[in-house]
Structure 1
Amino acid sequence: MDFKLPLPIGELKIITIIEYIDGPKIFSCLNEFDQKFLVNWIDTSPETDKWFYVPVSDYRLDLVMQGDVSLRDVILKAENNEFFEVITPVKGLGDVQVNKRDIESLLEEELPDEDSYVDSSLFEGFANVENSSYETSGEEPSNFIVSENQSIDAGNVEQVASNNSEYKVKKIMNNSFTHTYIEKNKEKQNSNYQENILLTRKEDVKLTAKRIKRDVLDLSFNINGTHKHEIDTFALGYALIQTQEMVNFIPVKKKDSGKYKLDKDASGMRRLKTVGFYAASFGVRLESEVEADLLSDTELSYTLKTLLELFRSTSNIIELKRVMSDFNLRATKAYYEFLNMLNNEKIELIAEWASPNSQYSISHLSSRVISEAIEAMNKETKNEERIITVNGQLVGVNIKQNRFNLITDKDEHIHGKISEVLRKEKFTIPLKVEASIKEATESNLMSGKESVSYVLLEIKAL
């Protein structure tokens, strides 16, 4: 079914109908800009119907159709924390309204039930239904797309199935409408050996945190635009190490002065435990080692809340600088290296956290946000110059390259360029000297990295 809504949604084509009651009520669709939506019929009145159009990635839509993510959570955890509310006239007379909504504006009565999972057994292995006309008369779709290059006419599905052991017909009755699908024959499909790693559907982070009285942090890695349940071992290990490093050095408490302080005995309180994996591209669940106190917080709750705020602020460099303004160098450097790893490995991240007292936050780092943040962070530099005087041994001079090497009395190695004033001088090495040197320091305020260069201005033999 093709239909059109006002922009920014635009022209739409239905992909899969999940529920049909006098017309499609829950379905997935694709617009002219290749954006997919999961659509829920929310409410009706004598004049209008209300729908939620939730933009979804291929990955998230797959999870819904597999029964791993509920229709409720698709809305509550909408990507970019927003979706569209569409108001349509019941009798087709009047204007269609499209309004952007954020998840904070949701009311409980607008949401599907908590157990609103798609029955994946009805859709597993089915072809997508495209280019079809759905009417309340019970007319079947005119054709089916079995694979990318194969189209089957609806009137011939029985014959196709009987002549091809790889497919079989499956029909689903829903009110007066009959869905007919071509399903991959499981016996044929399973004849080829394939090793499968089955990751379970994860328990909601808020329920888990409350039940076990610990903070729960879920990290979902979407690798290279795919949705396979696998990840490079180095990338996973490095991501977990840098996550723990950030948790180690993001402060637990604020001092009265407003600055952060790292408690000397905080290392044990800050440990995260990896407790399992779940169905995402690759999902890892972490829990705090310490349990909740009398106020239902753990020693780590404030830190993890700050970590999620850090993730969420990454799309805005001004906000990112504000969040990181009181971070120490170790935390800043850990996050910079964490972002670089995600960027180099082409990994996107969804992070979800809950505390035992029902604090909750979710953040998404897309490839674009990650690369733009790294670029912006690399520009945040500070340059300082100073003249230093040191005593030491001049141990090397390269006239052609105008370079010098000096070892100070404190056994520090200083090397750099020779100034133009000294380039015509004759040097005897090794030579005990007092040297005047210009030290230039370039510091990256976001990544914590710095580079130091030296220019030899003047020497005096001792």
Structure 2
Amino acid sequence: MFELPNGTILGVLDLQMTLEYFDFPRIFTCKNSTNQAYLVLSTFDDEDSCGWLYLPISPKRLNATLCGAVTLRDAFREPEGGYLFTVETFVGRAPVVTHVFPEQLSDSDLPSVGYTLNVAVSGDESDGVLTPKTVAKVYRRETFDYRIFPDEHTRHEVSARKLGTILSTTQELIDALGQTRLGTPTVRGPLPPELLQKTSVTVSHSFRGSFGVQFRASQPNDLFDHSLISDVLAEFSYLLQAADSEDLLSNKLHALKGRVASKYRRLLKQLFDINSGLSFDWGAVASDRGGEFSLSREQVRRAYMIVDRIDIAMADEIEVRGQLVGFNSRTKRYEIRATEGPTNYAGKVADDAKISVEHPAIGDFYIARLRMLVETQSSSGDELIRWVLVGLNEA
């Protein structure tokens, strides 16, 4: 079983990037609590033990090695500090760490002459920020960049409250798509913890050039480069490709079912509120997936209006007989008191609502057709129910 040799002179180690993988990481980087980075190479393994070379390395030297400017063999043959470590890890026993000089290394333990890595580093080298495609290959985790205000490259700030809602709504949309991919879409109630674990994403960092953040899947893909979240991001990309086409959006959302339409509508609403478009750069582990997708602010506005109508059209409908206690044709708001029970229904009037009465009168009795929109938080199951008026007839 692969484990880092913590509790040694190397320090408390944390795995950073997996550069080559076969059964377990063969070439990878790690870092200790004092920020010392190591480039690590597997030299042998059997049922009971594994051998490794741990090379202390600076950020600049590491970046030069990752992008192929320094061969992997030269990196280990010419360590910056003049030394490196051999490490042996065992099943059920403490690891053994030995301080060695490069001339003590056997050629059989080193990569072939001229062997280089090819990991493209983007942005400031000192920051070490990698493109989504590179991160996905290195960490074997689905990765995507999210850019808000993609057309405003000098904007580096956004409301904390709005950003928080956009990030949480994105996670909830991913959760909803994950439930649909498993074939069990529901409109109401909390989602199973095992599903939420598979669809969980983390924010690794933010970056400049419009306002952006990078998401990474919490779990790596399997040995066949597959994961549930990879399928989810494919569905997400299809929604973005549908852009503001009513036919494409309608077909897609009706096929996805469940709570996807309400979650996507909410995401578009948050972007619409801050007058922003969206850029989505997906780096996939599998070579046949991934890509760049975007919506302009005008496409966001139109898509929101379309998805809002679709969400209403897909909702469950009830018929209520009651007294009209509020109606505003300008703001498109209504309130009706049901004749049976103390329930009051209030909310917005749908744009395409069928109102058979020319001038609805406050105090008169009507038969209202209402559609129930449910917004559910994925983890807690907390629900917000909205009733949309889609029809009003004389009682």
Q: Which has the higher contact order (CA 8 A, sep 6+)?
A: 2
Q: Which has the larger radius of gyration?
A: 1
